[in-house]
Amino acid sequence: MYDEARIQRLLWSRQDVGLTASVRQRNDLLVHTFVTDHPALILLRRGRKTLKISGKKIVLLPGDAVAIAPGTTCDVLNETERGEFQSTWIVCANSILSRLESAFPNHKKLKKLIALKELGSEFVQSFERAVQAVIAPERIPGIVAEHRMQELLAWLAHTGWVFNSDTPSDLQRKVRLMIGAAPDRIWISRDLAQSLAMSEATLRRRLADQGQSFNKILIDVRMATALTLLQVTDRTVAEIAYQVGYESASRFSVRFKKRFGFSPMTVRGDPTQLQTLS
């Protein structure tokens, strides 16, 4: 079952199955306007998680979970319990999402997020089995791993919802996904526009129509990736800076603090002032 010592500081990936990682924080942290780029299920293990979206608050306690659709933007507050916050997230492979979606054609497609509360120990066990399906390929055959993911998604279907597996049509999300696949790359808007079969001017105009810009998205995706790596791995700040396209750790740290309001080392446990959701 869940082995905290083994998985909490690593990001695990298994082709055609999914991704998983466990977050551990020793500080209360508030992240404003965080964009979720992939459909995710998050199980809270310790502490308290509050999500604010469209003027509403959703509060999760240990044992609760949340399903978040790609493209969702919300404020996220993680609060510690006795000095620690823990959660685990899973992203299922798109092929598995598609099969579950096809199996429940009359279910509602999740557009933002939904809390999964009071589902009990059986749900938590399903979640644990799905985690193991990703992190233990040597013990769990592919067909079994797929069924474990389907079982977890069936809990979401039990509430009347399924993830939408359609290819993103929103330009902003397409750009985010392309950058997120290689955040360390030297990205040039002209090259990205060509990959999307449009001119650079068209790309900039269409993003501006959505209140965005290429540079703004590039920075946000890199900082969001860095935040995730700080939360789920033991890589140094310098290593993470390099992984998201910065050769200078100090320059990266300045950019990170400007985006989130706290330094990279705050995520690792240095004291910070708690902000509140209003």
Return the SS3 of 13.
strand
Q: How confident is the model at residue 270 (pLDDT cuts 50, 70, 90)?
A: low
Q: What is the pLDDT of residues 211-240, one digit of tens each?
A: 999 999 999 999 999 999 999 999 999 999
Q: What is the mean pLDDT of the chain?
A: 91
Instruction: List the domain boundaries for the chain.
Output: 4-162, 171-267
Weakest mean pLDDT among 8-17, 144-153, 193-202: 8-17
In whole angstroms, what is the distance from residue 206 CA to residue 103 CA?
36
Whether 4-162 and 171-267 share one fold: the answer is no
Whole-angstrom CA distances from 58 to 45, 130, 136, 158, 209 are: 16, 24, 32, 20, 30
Q: Which pTM does this prediction carry?
A: 0.90
Q: Among candidates 46, 37, 15, which has minimal Cα distance to 227?
A: 37
Are 134 and 13 a contacting pair, CB within 8 Å? yes
Check residue 107 and report its DSSP letter: S
Residue 5: count of CB within 10 angstroms of its CB: 6
Q: What is the pLDDT of residue 273?
A: 40
Return the SS3 of 168.
coil
Candidates 3.30.565.10, 1.10.10.60, 3.60.15.10, 2.60.40.1220; CATH matching 171-267? 1.10.10.60
SS (H, E, C) 237-259: HHHHHHHCCCCCHHHHHHHHHHH
Q: What is the pLDDT of residue 63?
A: 95
Q: What is the CATH number of domain 4-162?
A: 2.60.120.810
